[in-house]
Amino acid sequence: MITDPADYRWLSHSHNVSGGEHSLITPHPEYLHLGSTPAARQAAYRAQICEHLDEQQLAELRLHTRQQRAWGSDRLRQQIETLTQRAAGVRPRGRPCKLPIAPGK
């Protein structure tokens, strides 16, 4: 793992922070919505990237990442579940408990 995203050469981070042209990078629409000028977008991106998560948020992000689940609001997860017809939230660890079989059945 790296401590600074700029140290990882395969990220678009350096491009998003400092600008410049790269033939393999196409700006994401969400990135373009960060500001009306390249300088404004870069400043807004830097501000978001430099924002630190508290320990609880970091633990939640790691749990969601390990389970390959969406990390975000309940509304976001509901939208993803509706679109994909699959669970998007974190599930408890292990297999579900079997229901006891009633006597005589």
In this structure, the answer to whether residues 45 and 68 fall within a common structural domain is no
Measured CA angle at 73 (ends 67, 74), to 5 deg: 85
Q: How many domains does the chain have?
A: 2
Please report whether residue 77 resides in a domain: yes
Containing domain of residue 67, as a range?
Answer: 55-84
Please report whether residue 92 resides in a domain: no
pLDDT of the residue at 36: 94
- From CA 65, how far away is CA 85, in angstroms rounded? 19
Whole-model pTM: value is: 0.52
In this structure, the answer to whether residues 63 and 76 fall within a common structural domain is yes
Please report whether residue 96 resides in a domain: no
In this structure, the answer to whether residues 61 and 76 fall within a common structural domain is yes
Among the ranges given (11-15, 40-44, 72-76, 100-104), the one the predictor scored with the smallest mean pLDDT: 100-104
Report the share of the chain in percent with pLDDT over 70: 95
